[in-house]
Structure 1
Amino acid sequence: MNEFKGITPEPVSEYRATLGEGPNWLEDKQTLMWVDIEGKQLRFYNPEDGSEDVHELPERAGAAVGHTDDTVVLAVESGFVFYDLNSRRQTPIHDPENRADNRFNDGKCDAAGRFWAGTMSLVGKEREGAFYCLDSDLSTRRIFGDVSTSNGLGWSPDGTVLYYIDTGTQKVQAFEFDVERGELGAERTVVSFDDEEGFPDGMAVDADGHLWIAHYGGGRVSKWDPAAGLKVGEILLPVDNVTCCAFGGADYGDLYITTAIDGLSDEQKAEQPLAGALFVCRPGPKGQPAHLFRHTATAE
């Protein structure tokens, strides 16, 4: 039974992203940060007054995480960078690949403030990506390779499990996670998308430990019980390419959903005028706060 029947996500503005991704709720600002990858924009949405702050970027950003009041950290084509919200300038941290035909995609911070993000090919090559960790001392580790499209990730509420999607595998993997060391342990498959509509893209983990997965090409966000490997509900959207989701709002009860125009034919674009919109709904469950990147020099 679908517990979300009757839930209708609504667009928050008129903006339509070419490839919306990476929604991330900034608790201190009560604002949603997200990116339009192909539009080369970092965007902020304030639900209190509906205002939007738009930052034009010099390159594609796949993910953005909070850091300080004036600085965020981006995973971009040229690697990890600090981005100053006042000067609107990037400061390089490290590029672990230095490959013009790859770019970073989705990423998030763990409870210790490390930034985990992965890469993908820009020219359609399979298994050319990798998964990385930017540590608090600004060193970078290559966790594993052989990745097609590094995508959604998130942690169990107790922080002991990392869930990870490589879209090309059509699966969600779970890794035992040591938050003190920032290391992965035993791996298992918890969700198979073989019988699902579309491809697994971005993901959020709610306060009860359920997985919320965006279906690229499938027009929905599905909710899963990872312990049982079962889908327990889904939210339908009026667009095909659903890319990612994140919980936000004062009570973390708002589910923000990014979508994309990218990949649609002219006919599909005409049929889906809301494609590329940032949507929001209140499905009932609550999410977990997003962690900030913690640089050793500024850590408390």
Structure 2
Amino acid sequence: MPSIPQEKHLIATAIPDTRSRLGESPSWHSQEQVLYWVDIEGCALRKYNPASGEVQVYPMPERLCAVVPGAGGDLVLALQNSICKYKPATGELQELARPLQDRNIRLNEGKCDPNGRFWAGSMALDVRPGAASLFCMDPDLQVREVLQNLTIPNGLAWSGDGKTLYFTDSPTRTIRSFKYDLASGKISNPTAVVQVPEQEGMPDGMATDADGNLWVALHGGGAVVCYNPQTGEKLQRVEVPALNVTSCTFGGPELETLYITTAREWLSEEQLERYPLSGHVFEAQVGMKGLEANFFGKEKS
């Protein structure tokens, strides 16, 4: 396994009762003041209320790959092949679009842009190179394929002004920025901004803070690392007591808590013995403030 660099850093704390098989897509719901995330292989949506400490689980009929808040009070979910509206109170699922037909390819990381469009990647279950794409669903439910010939599309974070999209195809270990047209949702001018060394793992999910920095989960690297995307400089490291760190987001009343998802699926017995907290959601106070999650169908004022 990749060695984790030993340096001065913060250590994230596991939140009790939050263990998933493959935790992903953490999303802070600013109206409910709760954290949602998905357990992809456990086929479940999960919710954590920091005020009460309560964790709730909502079983799904198939793999659940991403969750975002919706403008009408519902949630928008990326299931294995479809994008659905979900009412947690009743369990009602309503299909909005079906970008994929092949059951051997599933949706992956998903987030909304500041104008309420839902972006999601796909990936082959056998992770074969070139089988994945990046999709965008507009609020009118029209879906377009934006990028092709990918392997594991991840990241999806926007700058505070919405003019830059950050994205990574994880096996490339390269985070790219795109010029982002908020009016049309079109991307252009791809530019490599961060290159993650092989021994530090692969860049996975990421979040932007209020100062424009990128917080990147390192899969196989046991950490979240903060980078300046203008220079590629590493600014801060948060060690996570789990090898496969999958994503992160800012939450809490002031958006000052970094929530971090991890996975335990496919780890060996030796790795699980070394990282017994794998699969938990972790939290850390990193001294920075994040950006609010964008809602599907809702343009930021």
Question: Into which bin does the TM-score normalised by the smaller protein fall?
Answer: over 0.9
SS in 2 for 1:245: strand
Per-residue Cα deviation, 1:46-103 (whole angstroms, up to 9, x for no partner): 0001011210001111110001464111111122111121221211111122111111
C-alpha distance in 1 between matches for 2:72 and 2:8? 39
Q: Does structure 1 residue 244 correspond to structure 2 residue 247?
A: yes
Per-residue Cα deviation, 1:209-241 (whole angstroms, up to 9, x for no partner): 101111111100000001001211211112111
Residue 105 of structure 1 aligns with an amino acid whose one-letter code is N
- Which of 161, 166, 173 is the matching residue for 1:163? 166
Contact (CA 8 Å) 1:114, 1:134: kept in 2 or not? Answer: yes
Residue 288 of structure 1 aligns with an amino acid whose one-letter code is L
Question: 1:64: which partner in 2?
Answer: 67
Question: 1:10: which partner in 2?
Answer: 13
Per-residue Cα deviation, 1:104-133 (whole angstroms, up to 9, x for no partner): 111110110000110000123111010000
> What does 1:47-196 correspond to in 2, within 5 Å?
47-68=50-71, 70-196=73-199
Contact (CA 8 Å) 1:70, 1:85: kept in 2 or not? Answer: no
Could you tell me how far 1:256 is from its partner in structure 2? 0.2
Number of positions where the alignment pairs a residue of Structure 1 with one of Structure 2: 296
Q: Does structure 1 residue 283 correspond to structure 2 residue 268?
A: no
Residue 256 of structure 1 aligns with an amino acid whose one-letter code is Y
Residue 271 of structure 2 aligns with an amino acid whose one-letter code is Q
Q: Does structure 1 residue 232 correspond to structure 2 residue 256?
A: no
Residue 211 of structure 2 aligns with an amino acid whose one-letter code is D
Unaligned runs of 5+ in 2: none
Unaligned runs of 5+ in 1: none
Contact (CA 8 Å) 2:9, 2:236: kept in 1 or not? Answer: no
SS in 1 for 2:147: strand
C-alpha root-mean-square deviation of aligned residues, in Å? Answer: 1.8
Question: 1:34: which partner in 2?
Answer: 37
C-alpha distance in 2 between matches for 1:270 and 1:27? 36
Residue 241 of structure 2 aligns with an amino acid whose one-letter code is P
C-alpha distance in 2 between matches for 1:271 and 1:175? 38
C-alpha distance in 2 between matches for 1:259 and 1:243? 5
C-alpha distance in 1 between matches for 2:115 and 2:282? 30
C-alpha distance in 1 between matches for 2:271 and 2:292? 35
Per-residue Cα deviation, 1:169-194 (whole angstroms, up to 9, x for no partner): 11001000010111112111001113
C-alpha distance in 1 between matches for 2:100 and 2:242? 34
SS in 2 for 1:267: helix
C-alpha distance in 2 between matches for 1:286 and 1:295? 22
Question: 2:269: which partner in 1?
Answer: 266
CA 295–195 in structure 1, closer or farther in 2 if over 3 Å, else same: closer
Residue 169 of structure 1 aligns with an amino acid whose one-letter code is T
C-alpha distance in 1 between matches for 2:215 and 2:40? 21
SS in 1 for 2:10: coil
Contact (CA 8 Å) 2:9, 2:239: kept in 1 or not? Answer: no
C-alpha distance in 2 between matches for 1:32 and 1:194? 31
Range with bigger deviation, 113-122 or 190-199:
190-199
C-alpha distance in 1 between matches for 2:153 and 2:59? 24
| Percent of aligned positions that are identical | 39
Runs of 4+ more than 3 Å apart:
none
CA 282–295 in structure 1, closer or farther in 2 if over 3 Å, else same: closer
CA 295–229 in structure 1, closer or farther in 2 if over 3 Å, else same: closer
